């Protein structure tokens, strides 16, 4: 077997001391892995890690994630999304959604956004049926969303406004007064799923669990 790329992802949380260079390597490896799974078709999807108190390292815009290298990442200011260094590649167009998550959850070290098919389809079916959060009940994999002792979780579902900052604003508003211990994930109808955690490994693990939950929900039916 070839080693899995996530094998080399440290489980240490990213923080002020994280080396941006290594973080870039981990970011691009994570993006390539998600691409290989078919969850980032074309140039879609974006991944970020917190870098110190005031910055976020995020994948660059418009690149095929299967071809991503360390150079295809950009350090942006956590408050504005502006690249820290002149001449940086253009950050992902969805940087503002990542920043909304980092602002809402100070302990979060990494955010992953992708287009896994079952999560996207379940979100869209729910939205078409009137919207509201997607709730999972009884399924064991709920524990993989960091919620070991609950029988159900709710994943908030957002509209896919053409203007990305409008999505980010709604995400920010939603989490300004979150429920106690909200699930580390959100869904955007007709678009995809976003998860977060202390580090890239945890954020990726949660995306896997969310997609598996959504596949099970579709297979089990009503």
Nearer to a copy of itself, 135 or 143 (CB): 143
CA 85 to chain centre: 24
How far is the CA of 63 from the CAs of 25, 66, 156, in angstroms? Answer: 16, 9, 28
Nearer to a copy of itself, 34 or 57 (CB): 34
Closest approach of a copy of itself to the CB of residue 155, in Å? 15
Tell me how far apart the alpha carbons of residues 88 and 111 are, in angstroms, rounded to a whole number: 20
CA angle 150, 167, 36 (to 5 degrees): 70
Nearer to a copy of itself, 37 or 79 (CB): 37
Nearer to a copy of itself, 100 or 217 (CB): 217
Nearer to a copy of itself, 55 or 209 (CB): 209
Q: What is the DSSP string of 58-89?
A: EEBTT--GGG--GGGEEEEETTT--BSSTTPP
Closest approach of a copy of itself to the CB of residue 216, in Å? 6
Strand order from edge to edge, sheet including 46-51: 73-77, 55-59, 46-51, 110-114, 192-197, 185-188, 157-158
Closest approach of a copy of itself to the CB of residue 84, in Å? 25
Residues lying near a copy of itself in the complex (CB under 8 A) are found at 1-7, 9, 11, 29, 32-33, 35-36, 38, 41-44, 64, 66-67, 115, 117-118, 120-121, 124-125, 128, 138-141, 143-144, 149, 151, 160, 162, 188-192, 201, 204-206, 208-209, 211-212, 215-216, 218-221
């Amino acid at each position: 077997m070839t080693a899995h790329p996530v094998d080399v992802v440290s489980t240490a949380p990213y923080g002020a001391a994280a080396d941006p260079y290594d973080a870039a390597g981990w970011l691009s490896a994570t993006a390539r892995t998600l691409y290989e799974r078919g969850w980032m078709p074309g140039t879609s999807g974006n991944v970020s890690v917190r870098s110190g108190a005031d910055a976020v390292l995020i994948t660059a815009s418009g690149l095929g994630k299967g071809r991503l290298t360390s150079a295809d990442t950009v350090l942006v200011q956590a408050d504005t999304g502006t690249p820290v260094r002149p001449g940086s590649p253009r950050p992902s167009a969805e940087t503002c959604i990542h920043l909304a998550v980092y602002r809402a959850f100070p302990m979060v070290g990494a955010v992953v956004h992708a287009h896994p098919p079952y999560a996207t389809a379940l979100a869209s079916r729910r939205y078409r049926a009137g919207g509201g959060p997607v709730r999972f009940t009884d399924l064991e994999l709920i524990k993989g969303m960091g919620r070991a002792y609950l029988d159900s979780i709710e994943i908030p579902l957002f509209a896919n406004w053409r203007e990305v900052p409008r999505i980010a604003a709604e995400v920010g508003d939603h989490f300004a007064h979150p429920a106690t211990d909200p699930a580390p994930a959100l869904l955007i109808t007709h678009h995809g799923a976003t998860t977060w955690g202390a580090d890239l490994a945890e954020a990726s693990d949660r995306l896997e669990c969310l997609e598996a939950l959504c596949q099970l929900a579709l297979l089990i039916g009503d």
